[in-house]
């Protein structure tokens, strides 16, 4: 039971993990944009590096903190598990989210420093409009469905590969590019490069991600039925 692990270690894992994820995403985007002249190759490389980091970090940190690495995953697991013995207390969920946001900012800072972009700027790529918001709704809904659906089916050991697999598909197949994570969205807003998002576009994305998370919880209920007390929520 990971809830017996001291909160400090779990919060450190969430901060470090989300920071390394932001570094992998932003850093690989900067390198890919510098190396290749083909937009498809740039996105292939960024996808590959990001989802490899994501899968490794989930596998490595799941035994420590549950490896949420995403405030909406924390929110979804808190909601799904509330009232059960395995429930993540709301106060700890807030600590998790704060660690994820802090970590993502740190990862963005490290990426910018390593690739010579100076310490934290703000990105200029506008991401807005119904198509991109729809993309974020779909991307986040399926992410929650994957995380909670595997938990409900007792298949959490597949999470590293399955989550990485969905993000791979979502990056290419959703109009928004599958941010699906408010912490990474914040980190990307603070780095002006290939993977950036203008700060003005962040609220719309965050709202769409939240809608997607709620929709994802509904899909879990639809496909896996009502949660049974004492079985749900893992983390």
210 binds its own copies (CB under 8 A): no
**Nearest distance from C-beta of residue 129 to its own copies, angstroms:** 10
Cβ-contact 20, 107 below 8 angstroms: yes
Cβ-contact 111, 185 below 8 angstroms: no
64 binds its own copies (CB under 8 A): yes
Cβ-contact 87, 78 below 8 angstroms: yes
31 binds its own copies (CB under 8 A): yes
Tokens of 6: 């001291």
119 binds its own copies (CB under 8 A): no
* Part in contact with its own copies (CB under 8 A); list of ranges 118-126, 148-156, 181-189, 208-216: 148-156
Cβ-contact 198, 125 below 8 angstroms: yes
Work out the angle at residue 227's Cα, subtended by the Cα atoms of residues 221 and 233, and round it to the nearest 5 degrees. Answer: 100
73 binds its own copies (CB under 8 A): no
From 24, 97, 105, 232, residue interacting with its own copies (rule: CB under 8 A)? 24
**Contacts of its own copies in 177-206 (CB under 8 A):** none
Supply the DSSP symbol for 53.
H
Could you give the C-alpha distances from 163 to 31, 160, 168, 229, 230, in angstroms and in order?
Answer: 24, 6, 9, 25, 24
**Nearest distance from C-beta of residue 145 to its own copies, angstroms:** 7
* Part in contact with its own copies (CB under 8 A); list of ranges 18-26, 70-78, 90-98, 207-215: 18-26
165 binds its own copies (CB under 8 A): yes
From 12, 120, 198, 214, residue interacting with its own copies (rule: CB under 8 A)? 12
**Contacts of its own copies in 77-116 (CB under 8 A):** 110-111, 113-116
């Amino acid at each position: 039971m990971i809830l017996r692990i001291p909160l400090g270690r779990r919060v450190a894992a969430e901060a470090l993990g989300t920071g390394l994820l932001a570094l992998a995403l932003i850093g690989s985007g900067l390198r890919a944009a510098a190396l290749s002249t083909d937009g498809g190759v740039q996105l292939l490389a960024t996808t590959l590096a990001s989802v490899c980091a994501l899968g490794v970090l989930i596998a490595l940190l799941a035994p420590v903190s549950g490896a949420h690495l995403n405030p909406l995953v924390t929110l979804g697991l808190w909601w799904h598990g509330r009232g059960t013995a395995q429930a993540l207390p709301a106060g700890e969920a807030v600590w998790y989210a704060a660690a994820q946001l802090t970590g993502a900012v740190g990862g963005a800072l490290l990426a910018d420093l390593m690739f010579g972009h100076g310490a934290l700027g703000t990105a200029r790529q506008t991401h807005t409009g119904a198509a991109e918001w729809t993309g974020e709704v779909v991307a986040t809904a399926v992410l929650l469905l994957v995380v909670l659906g595997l938990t409900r089916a007792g298949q959490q050991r597949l999470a590293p590969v399955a989550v990485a697999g969905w993000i791979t598909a979502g990056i290419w197949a959703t109009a928004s590019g599958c941010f699906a994570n408010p912490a990474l969205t914040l980190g990307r807003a603070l780095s002006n490069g290939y993977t950036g998002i203008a700060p003005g576009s962040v609220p719309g994305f965050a709202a769409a991600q939240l809608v997607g998370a709620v929709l994802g919880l509904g899909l879990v209920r639809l496909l896996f039925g009502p949660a049974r007390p004492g079985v749900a929520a893992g983390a």
